[in-house]
Structure 1
Amino acid sequence: MANREAAMRGQMREETRIKLEREFWRRRLMWGLLGLAGAVLFGGVFYLTNLDATVDEKELSGTVDEVERFVPSKGGPEGWRVGVKLSDGRRVNILAGKDNEKHAGEPIQVTEHHHHTGRSTFTAK
């Protein structure tokens, strides 16, 4: 009878050990997956940021359509908002510095910055 009770205690200990070990590995897997998800998220943000920083530039010519004074609402440098009709038919807006005043009808050289995310920006030469 004593041997049977000792065997039961040993069996209970073995079952408890298996349950605890299973719980240990389950938690380790959960934290590992959370770490992997964080690394993938960080890598994705880095990849998208790098895409926007990669730029192809193309020189274009155009004609100034309109010029408006640009005064920022929260400080910053004043300047001119210049509406430009490009030679390929597109119409774009460019911000020019305060000392770089343009006049309607004037020819202008424009640089198109095409970011790899699909965004395009324009600057006056």
Structure 2
Amino acid sequence: METIEQGDAFDPDCPTRLVLDRIGDRWTVLILLTLRDGPRRFTELRRKVNGVTPKVLTQTLRAMERDGLVTREVYAEVPPRVEYTLTALGMSLQTPIQAITDWAEANVGKVMAAREESLRA
């Protein structure tokens, strides 16, 4: 299997776009932020990431696991307990994701004002 060390996001055939799609997904970002403090069970994630359906949360977690951002651990208990944890790769996203979150929280008023202004125009 070929290893790509560096990509070109402007090349339509570059897999970098797949990575950007994954980390640009709104549910991925919220799951990453939720898991930064440690492992969480599915129900905890669903409660914290308010608004996500169980189906979409499952799909997103599977994609994140496939992409190496989270691990899923099943404990042999009754009922079975499943926990999701960030991998080292997932943890490496914390700084950029937090920076974007901080920017969004600091500028939400300006963005909403711009939206209101465009609706009046």
Instruction: Name the TM tier (shorter chain).
Output: under 0.3
- Which structure has more strand as a fraction of its residues? 1
| TM-score under structure 1 length normalisation | 0.18
Question: TM-score scaled to structure 2, two decimals?
Answer: 0.19
Point out the structure with max Rg over C-alpha: 1
* Greater fraction of residues in helix: 2
